[in-house]
Chains A and B, each alone.
Chain A
Amino acid sequence: MSVNNATTNRRGFLKSAAKAGAAAAPLFIPASVLGRNGSVPPSEQIVVGGLGIGRRGRTVLSRFLPERDVRFIAVCDAQRSRRREVKRMVDAHYRTSDCQTLRHPDDLLQRDDIDAVLIATGDRWHTLASVMAARAGKDIYCEKPCSMTIEESLVLRDVIGRYGRIYQAGTQRRTIPNFQFAVDLAHRGKLGELHTVHAHTLSPRFTRKWLPGAPLPSKEVIDWDLWLGPAPWRPYNPKYALGRWRNYYDLHSGGILEWGAHTVDLCQWAAGADQTAPVEYRPWDNNVTATYANGVKLVMRGRGAGWLGLGTCPVRFEGDEGWVETGDSGKIAVSPDSLRSEIKVIEMAGTDPKNHVREFLDCVRSRRPCSANEKVAAQAHIASHAATIAWRLDATLKFDPAKNEFVDHPTANRHLSRAVREPWRL
């Protein structure tokens, strides 16, 4: 086929090609050679759909839409108001009325013309939606935290790998310059031998309470069973659907994961531990200190605990010759002063997913793994989950990163998984 066939989109052609038996599927051309100002023919566009797009999702979507090689065509959400809001946003961008609104993820994932999905549901849905998308042959950009349990982290990693899909966890600080700089400083040995990495995390406290039940609106307004998805059933209350689901044990992966998905991930990277996790977790106050097999400490600690005030989501890496700390302000603090000469100009805030989205799209084309791919995301989440479990049990725990289970602690191992509500299946 011609790669410049402007009369069809990529998936549409793929479908007809597949039916024909042996015809050619279209080829993506890397964005770097498309030209900044040239239009991208439909056959070269990456067709994207959205699952569960709320406030954060719309921020990420706003970085997808301007990319010339993206066409966003459908949104799926259990809530009508959110479906409508995203449709308004997308249609206004394209000046059409074409964005399809769907309630059920199956309906979106069964669309052969969709190449990739943006998943920005609540935590409870992240793994399930991702594995459903991978099994449907979609590439995935998924907001964090990406899993509710250690088991989910592993299933996510395995299913994405099984299907060879491209996966980008929404941990955009991996592609933001000040954080990259700090990690690079550690990797280049400028801090000496690394001995401690610090990750800002939120309070791991949680509640098992339920909000009072409220009259359930029509399924068109909100499909409550679908909204809950794999989570245990609880009565409807509109506050959950308005975003107040955090800190509920069944719905939220927890305060350590909330920021740790970013900051623990960065610490893992800095410590050269992307393929493993700490082997011991010791809780204190609302914090946890973990230790890697090589003795490096990973300190997960909250606000007011000695951070320099460089913005949200700070990380700090300490070696025997110096330290670096940075956060979402983009500002960087270093010691000793001689390291100040290393500091580069930073022009991007920590919450902006622009680079991360572009990298994802480039990887969809090249089939190369993203920087926040399923393997590194799984390990950072496993470390954060293990810390959360240690804090909940108020016990120092040993962990085996090869087996992904706690050592000689059956009670802790009970936290490794949670049953998924039927009929959903990981």
Chain B
Amino acid sequence: MPNSRAIDRRNLSVAVAVVFGAALSHGTAFAVDKASPLARIKSPNASLHDKATAFEELALDGGPESIAALGERLGDPRLSHYARYALQASPDPAAGEALRGALDKVRGAQLIGVINSLASRRDVAAVDALTGLCGSEDPAVALAAAGALAAIGSDAALAALAETPVEKATAFTDALLQGALAHEAKGDAAKAEALLNRLAGADAPVHVMQAVELALVRNATPEKAEARLAELLASPVDWRFVVGLQAAVQAGPDRYSQTLASAIDKNPPGRQVRILSVIEGKPGTGGLAAARAASRSPHPEVRLAAAAALGALGNKSDGPLLFRLALSDPAAREPATQALLRIKDPQLDSYLAGMLDGAEPSKRALAAELSGRRGARSATPKLLALTRGSDSAEVRLAALGALRRVAPGDTLGKVFDLVASAPSTEEARLAKLAAVEVAQRVADPSAATAAVAERLEHWPPADHGVLLDALARVGDNAALELVAQAAFRPDRATQDAATRVLGAWPNGGAAPALLRVAGSGHAFSVRALRGYLRAARQYSSGQERIAMCRLALGVADRDEERLLALDTLALTPSAESLKLATAQLTSDVLASKAKAVEPVLKIAEAVSPTNPAEAAAAARAVLAISDDKQLVDRARKLAQP
């Protein structure tokens, strides 16, 4: 990387901090001065902040009249960057002239800044001057100048870069690479190659040589590129081999699969693994054949890499090999499973469905898991049968896990029945998870809601939770109404589950039901009210939110919820919300008035510009009850006319 420290950035920062610190010590105003930006940057009395914002304003709309004043500040360590902020953005050619004019007037960091801004402006008129600066004795300046030439990218700029002396090629690495890529973008491979060869002949770091080699392959003719790639893949130097891999990747999915395949046998196992990882992204037939051949390698790591490649490229016919691999070795199970999940061929699902009929529990369990993770809905009947009929707990558990993933919505009733008949706690847990997920997939919400309603009448209350969770996933109005009704059933377990589900309902539709519960002396009225306020925060805004807070304050029995309502109210500052919030400070209901001061002040501060009288009234109410110094200070500011 460029050694930017060469220009002594650290010492510079000390100087800058000292200079700015001095400016600040003379008093920094934090309100933006209303004078014109140009007047502010010229004013000896303007604070640094006012000058800074003036420069930023000029960056966005400064006209020709500002250019001269900006140019004069390019050498000022305090203001040079701000001046460039404005000049760099200006479309006025005079801004470029000002920057170019500073090239022989400013030094060190400021000079680098000016060069960088010319680079950003792609200032072709600066090429000659920048070419000269490439020979600067200050290496950081020379580096910036070379970088600017590359960024400008004109024919003249690139020609100047091409003249870089060999002894500077390493220092100018980035510029030469950028220049080469500029030629590449213009379709001039010969010139790109010429620049790259300047670097190839230099004593550059390995990562630079990698970048050069990559670019050389990209710029070669197809025949030469293929030959170069083969050469790289056969190189005894590992970084060159890695470049070969990356060049193959960069060439896209349709090229070099055969070149890569041919390289496998010529390399040791470690390299074969990496070649196979690149072949994964090459759908050509050469790659698939190579992966199949490598799956028979005597080296375990190569077989696993081949399995991964088969996952990307293979089809149903690769299923048996991968299935055996997954069961043969614990270390291979995950890679082989992943490969089986990746194979796109839908016929593989048929193969796995066949394995569900097998005799060995471990094979049936794996087939069930894979069917689920592959999303093979066609396996649902067999999976349902296994959950009920298999005498292997491993198989039943795997089948339940798979049903959770694939069972369609119209099997919801059957999955509910699995909950009711589960022979173990773990199977009941998995069946409940499956039921909730299946509920999300129902295409006929009314049928699903009816299925739940029926079970609510017959299932023990302790199991109602899963039914109500399922309704939340069904999510339509009928489902919501059924949950709302359940909240008023006589048993506590159902009330508990129903209010929990209502409180977490995924939209604002549950708010009326929550308010009904909150205002009815219900055992879970506090939870319902908090859920109602959550809905007010998350799903409402403006007048609706204020109205909800008013209703919440009307039914709240505790200060905790009253304060929560005030915090929610503070999200919608307005004269109306301020009036409602302030009223709480004078009411007899709220005991923790001190805690209500913050939201009241927050609203008052927000509405003060448009409703100063209302804000002042609220502030006076605060002053009447608060003795917190910070809050009192804030209130006094608002209370002043």
Output the nearest chain A residue to B269 by Cβ-Cβ distance.
Answer: A3
Q: List, sorted by A's number, 11 A–B pairs whose CB atoms are closer than 8 Å.
A: A14-B239, A23-B237, A38-B331, A162-B178, A212-B28, A216-B17, A304-B541, A333-B475, A345-B437, A414-B90, A418-B88
> Which residues on B sit within 8 Å (CB–CB) of A366?
245, 249, 274, 277-278, 280
**Given contact pairs A24-B238, A109-B1, A309-B508, A425 touches B112 in the complex (Cβ within 8 A):** yes
At the interface, yes or no: B445 with Cβ under 8 Å from chain A? yes
**Given contact pairs A106-B5, A340-B409, A425-B112, A29 touches B270 in the complex (Cβ within 8 A):** yes
**Given contact pairs A109-B1, A337-B442, A30 touches B281 in the complex (Cβ within 8 A):** no
Task: For residue B531, give the distance in angstroms from its CB to the closest CB of chain A.
Answer: 12
At the interface, yes or no: B24 with Cβ under 8 Å from chain A? yes
Do B246 and A367 touch (CB < 8 A)?
yes
At the interface, yes or no: A188 with Cβ under 8 Å from chain B? no
- Which residue of A210, A234, A425 has the most chain B CB atoms within 10 A of its CB atom? A425
> Which residues on A sit within 8 Å (CB–CB) of B208?
137, 163
Do B13 and A29 touch (CB < 8 A)?
no
At the interface, yes or no: B487 with Cβ under 8 Å from chain A? no
Cβ proximity bits A109-133 to B, threshold 8 Å, 1 near / 0 not: 1100000000000000000000010
A422–B109 Cα distance when bound, in Å, is 6
Output the nearest chain B residue to A338 by Cβ-Cβ distance.
Answer: B443
Output the nearest chain A residue to B401 by Cβ-Cβ distance.
Answer: A345
> Which residues on B sit within 8 Å (CB–CB) of A137?
1, 205-208, 210
Do B335 and A33 touch (CB < 8 A)?
yes
Stretch touching chain A among B54-62, B494-502, B632-640: B54-62
Do B538 and A225 touch (CB < 8 A)?
no
Which residues of B in the span 519-567 have a Cβ within 8 Å of any Cβ on A?
538-541
Task: List the 8 closest A-B pairs by CB distance, nearest first.
Answer: A137-B207, A225-B13, A422-B113, A304-B541, A24-B238, A25-B238, A136-B1, A33-B304
A341–B173 Cα distance when bound, in Å, is 55
Do A163 and B539 touch (CB < 8 A)?
no
A223–B271 Cα distance when bound, in Å, is 45
Cβ proximity bits B84-108 to A, threshold 8 Å, 1 near / 0 not: 1101111100000000000000001
At the interface, yes or no: B290 with Cβ under 8 Å from chain A? no
A110–B3 Cα distance when bound, in Å, is 9
At the interface, yes or no: B283 with Cβ under 8 Å from chain A? no
Cβ proximity bits B270-308 to A, threshold 8 Å, 1 near / 0 not: 110110011011000000000000000000010011001
> Which of B10, B30, B331 sits near A37, CB closer than 8 Å?
B331
Output the nearest chain B residue to A216 by Cβ-Cβ distance.
Answer: B17
At the interface, yes or no: B368 with Cβ under 8 Å from chain A? no
Chain A-chain B contacts (Cβ-Cβ < 8 Å), number: 254
A29–B301 Cα distance when bound, in Å, is 9
Which residues of A in the span 114-167 have a Cβ within 8 Å of any Cβ on B?
132, 135-137, 151, 158-159, 161-164
Which residues of A in the span 176-219 have a Cβ within 8 Å of any Cβ on B?
208-210, 212-213, 216
A17–B334 Cα distance when bound, in Å, is 34
At the interface, yes or no: B9 with Cβ under 8 Å from chain A? yes
Do A212 and B91 touch (CB < 8 A)?
no
A3–B214 Cα distance when bound, in Å, is 24
Do A22 and B211 touch (CB < 8 A)?
no
Cβ proximity bits A400-422 to B, threshold 8 Å, 1 near / 0 not: 00000000001101111111111
> Which residues on B sit within 8 Å (CB–CB) of A17?
238-239
- Which residue of B7, B181, B440, B443 has the most chain A CB atoms within 10 A of its CB atom? B440
Task: For residue A165, give the distance in angstroms from its CB to the closest CB of chain B.
Answer: 8
At the interface, yes or no: A68 with Cβ under 8 Å from chain B? no
Do B304 and A132 touch (CB < 8 A)?
no
Do B88 and A417 touch (CB < 8 A)?
yes
**Given contact pairs A304-B541, A309-B507, A411-B60, A209 touches B214 in the complex (Cβ within 8 A):** no
A178–B1 Cα distance when bound, in Å, is 40
At the interface, yes or no: A102 with Cβ under 8 Å from chain B? no
At the interface, yes or no: B120 with Cβ under 8 Å from chain A? yes
Which residues of B in the span 219-272 have a Cβ within 8 Å of any Cβ on A?
236-239, 241-243, 245-246, 249-250, 270-271
At the interface, yes or no: B40 with Cβ under 8 Å from chain A? no
Output the nearest chain A residue to B4 by Cβ-Cβ distance.
Answer: A423
Do B144 and A425 touch (CB < 8 A)?
yes
> Which residues on A sit within 8 Å (CB–CB) of B144?
425
Do A341 and B17 touch (CB < 8 A)?
no
Output the nearest chain A residue to B12 by Cβ-Cβ distance.
Answer: A423
> Which residues on A sit within 8 Å (CB–CB) of B442?
337, 340
Do B21 and A216 touch (CB < 8 A)?
yes
At the interface, yes or no: B441 with Cβ under 8 Å from chain A? yes
- Which residue of A106, A337, A417, A426 has the most chain B CB atoms within 10 A of its CB atom? A337
Output the nearest chain B residue to A346 by Cβ-Cβ distance.
Answer: B437
At the interface, yes or no: B363 with Cβ under 8 Å from chain A? no
Task: For residue A402, give the distance in angstroms from its CB to the closest CB of chain B.
Answer: 12
Cβ proximity bits A214-241 to B, threshold 8 Å, 1 near / 0 not: 0010000001111000001111000000
> Which of A25, A35, A135, A343 sits near B2, CB closer than 8 Å?
A135
Do A158 and B181 touch (CB < 8 A)?
yes
At the interface, yes or no: A242 with Cβ under 8 Å from chain B? no
**Given contact pairs A29-B301, A162-B181, A367-B249, A422 touches B56 in the complex (Cβ within 8 A):** no
At the interface, yes or no: B135 with Cβ under 8 Å from chain A? no
> Which of B4, B59, B82, B249 sits near A425, CB closer than 8 Å?
B4
At the interface, yes or no: A95 with Cβ under 8 Å from chain B? no
A164–B89 Cα distance when bound, in Å, is 30
Do A164 and B1 touch (CB < 8 A)?
no
At the interface, yes or no: B157 with Cβ under 8 Å from chain A? no
> Which residues on A sit within 8 Å (CB–CB) of B270?
3, 27, 29
A132–B113 Cα distance when bound, in Å, is 17
A213–B28 Cα distance when bound, in Å, is 8
**Given contact pairs A33-B305, A164-B246, A367-B249, A225 touches B239 in the complex (Cβ within 8 A):** no
Do B277 and A30 touch (CB < 8 A)?
yes
At the interface, yes or no: B117 with Cβ under 8 Å from chain A? yes
Output the nearest chain B residue to A109 by Cβ-Cβ distance.
Answer: B1
> Which of A24, A225, A338 sits near B236, CB closer than 8 Å?
A24
> Which residues on A sit within 8 Å (CB–CB) of B5?
104, 106
Output the nearest chain B residue to A166 by Cβ-Cβ distance.
Answer: B246
> Which of B52, B91, B214, B377 sits near A234, CB closer than 8 Å?
B52
- Which residue of B4, B207, B250 has the most chain A CB atoms within 10 A of its CB atom? B207
> Which residues on B sit within 8 Å (CB–CB) of A106?
1, 3-5
Task: For residue A51, give the distance in angstroms from its CB to the closest CB of chain B.
Answer: 13
Task: For residue A115, give the distance in angstroms from its CB to the closest CB of chain B.
Answer: 10
**Given contact pairs A233-B16, A413-B91, A418-B85, A249 touches B245 in the complex (Cβ within 8 A):** no
Do A331 and B506 touch (CB < 8 A)?
yes
At the interface, yes or no: A350 with Cβ under 8 Å from chain B? no
**Given contact pairs A33-B301, A411-B60, A310 touches B178 in the complex (Cβ within 8 A):** no
Task: For residue A163, give the distance in angstroms from its CB to the closest CB of chain B.
Answer: 5
> Which residues on B sit within 8 Å (CB–CB) of A33?
273, 301, 304-305, 308, 335
Do A30 and B91 touch (CB < 8 A)?
no
Cβ proximity bits B27-53 to A, threshold 8 Å, 1 near / 0 not: 010101000000000000000010011
Do B331 and A35 touch (CB < 8 A)?
yes
Cβ proximity bits A348-377 to B, threshold 8 Å, 1 near / 0 not: 000000000000000001111100000000
At the interface, yes or no: A424 with Cβ under 8 Å from chain B? yes
At the interface, yes or no: B20 with Cβ under 8 Å from chain A? yes
A13–B9 Cα distance when bound, in Å, is 32
**Given contact pairs A29-B274, A232-B52, A419 touches B308 in the complex (Cβ within 8 A):** no
Do B60 and A164 touch (CB < 8 A)?
no
At the interface, yes or no: B405 with Cβ under 8 Å from chain A? yes
Task: For residue A83, give the distance in angstroms from its CB to the closest CB of chain B.
Answer: 17
**Given contact pairs A26-B238, A164-B211, A216-B21, A422 touches B61 in the complex (Cβ within 8 A):** no
Known: A163-B207, A232-B82. 14 other contacts (CB 8 A): A17-B239, A162-B177, A162-B211, A210-B52, A212-B28, A225-B17, A233-B81, A329-B506, A337-B445, A343-B441, A366-B274, A366-B278, A367-B249, A425-B112
Do B274 and A28 touch (CB < 8 A)?
yes
Do B278 and A368 touch (CB < 8 A)?
yes
A60–B445 Cα distance when bound, in Å, is 40
A333–B60 Cα distance when bound, in Å, is 43
Output the nearest chain B residue to A230 by Cβ-Cβ distance.
Answer: B81
